[in-house]
């Protein structure tokens, strides 16, 4: 096997393992610094599940739920299926102190979930059903979608 093939295989294996918490925090910081217009543009155009969920969590934290024909959950709800993400084993009792009751909004819980590595690294078990959405964020997105579509 050539070095290029080995490197590609390693890259694929690392990608399959999910985003490291450090990389996720760096990405969360980058997204937090974006203005709202840029976030809405990303919400419409990104094909990356992690970025979409980070962007929507940030917009939700800013109380921005609808922008013209676009709304939070418009694309992410279709991808959020219970059981999609395997639950990580909880092996650090120090992490048990954080749960959904520690967050004022579903958006804040979702921002924490995505900022700590996403659903593959849900060490705080904020996404118990494995759909990729933390705490009450799914319910919030469904309400936003219903209001935006007149449903």
Find the domain containing 66 and state its range: 20-149
pLDDT over threshold 70, residue 102: yes
Alpha carbon distance 55, 72 (integer Å): 9
Domain assignment present for 12: no
What's the pLDDT tens digit per position in 50-92?
899 999 999 999 999 999 999 999 999 988 877 677 766 665 6
Domain assignment present for 40: yes
Domain total of the chain: 1
Domain assignment present for 76: yes
pLDDT over threshold 60, residue 106: yes
pLDDT tier for residue 122 given thresholds of 50, 70 and 90: confident
Alpha carbon distance 151, 143 (integer Å): 9
Question: What's the whole-model pTM score?
Answer: 0.77
């Amino acid at each position: 096997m050539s070095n290029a093939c080995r490197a590609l295989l390693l890259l694929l294996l690392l990608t399959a393992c999910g985003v490291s918490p450090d990389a996720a925090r760096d990405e969360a910081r980058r997204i937090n610094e974006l203005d709202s217009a840029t976030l809405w543009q990303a919400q419409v155009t990104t094909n990356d599940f992690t970025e979409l969920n980070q962007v929507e969590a940030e917009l939700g934290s800013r109380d921005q739920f609808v922008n013209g024909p676009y709304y939070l959950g418009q694309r992410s709800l279709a991808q959020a299926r219970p059981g999609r993400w395997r639950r990580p084993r909880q092996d650090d009792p120090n992490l048990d102190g954080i749960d959904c009751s520690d967050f004022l909004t579903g958006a804040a819980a979702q921002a924490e979930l995505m900022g700590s590595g996403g659903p593959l690294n849900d060490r705080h078990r904020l996404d118990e059903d494995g759909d990729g959405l933390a705490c009450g964020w799914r319910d919030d997105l469904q309400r936003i979608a219903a209001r935006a579509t007149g449903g």
